[in-house]
Amino acid sequence: MGEKSVQKRKYILKKAREVFAEKGFKDVTMKDVVDACDISRGGLYLYFASTQELFLAVLKEEIDEDDEEAVVAALSGDASAGDMLALFLKEQKKNILRMKNNLTVATYEYFSMYKVTGNDNPLKVEFDTAVRIIEKLIENGVSGGEFYCEDPLGCARNLMYVVEGLKVASRTIGVTEEAIDRELMYVLEGLVPDELNN
């Protein structure tokens, strides 16, 4: 595949991403993507054989980017643990609220359809990675006397399940920005020693 094809592949993925963000996974047809890309039916098949293949490719790009963004943002600074955790959660919040180009629904549809287990499941990898980052941040915070927490891992997991809950709720029940702030704050406040909390 030459240079040109790589460009086109990227172009297709960009457009496909928009389609998945709009319609989820199950409702997307190859025709939807063809129309969005304004290429020929046959042309799309040269690059991707199915919506599944397309979606996995979109997801792969997504995750590669995410790693660079959130993780780096969260860990590479020399800010305090609290600030870094706040930064990380801000990133999550942005994700939850993002209306355009959000793959949450498509991703849930995909992975509830094709059960993928263990580390082949990017959703799981992402979740576990996030848990580990948060755990680390809390531990750092505890070491520095900034936080109080007897079970950093438990707390990190609790936080991420709340985030998952908020994600799905925002797509189904509807969640305001204030509600997200409130939920995340609720967890964070549990980390702050009582005397500081008042």
Partner DNA sequence: AATGAATGAGCCTTCATTCAT
Partner DNA sequence: TATGAATGAAGGCTCATTCAT
Q: Which stretch binds its own copies (CB under 8 A): 45-53, 57-65, 73-81, 183-191?
A: 183-191
- Among 105, 191, 184, smallest CA distance to 145 is for 191
Helix extents (H) in 98-121: 104-113
93 binds, among its own copies, DNA, none (CB under 5 to 8 A by kind): none
Residues whose CB falls within 8 Å of the CB of residue 175, separated by 6 or more in sequence, listed in order: 96, 166, 169
Distance (Å, whole) CA 50 – CA 73: 35
121 binds, among its own copies, DNA, none (CB under 5 to 8 A by kind): its own copies
Out of 14, 22, 23, 39, the only residue in the binding site for DNA (CB under 7 A) is 39
CA atoms within 13 A on the CB side of 133: 23
Distance (Å, whole) CA 190 – CA 7: 48
Provide the binding-site residues for DNA, judged by CB under 7 A. 1-2, 4-5, 8, 29-31, 39-43, 45-47, 49-51
Provide the binding-site residues for its own copies, judged by CB under 8 A. 24, 26-27, 105, 107-109, 111-113, 115, 117, 121, 123-124, 127, 151, 154-155, 157-158, 160-169, 171-174, 182-183, 186-187, 190
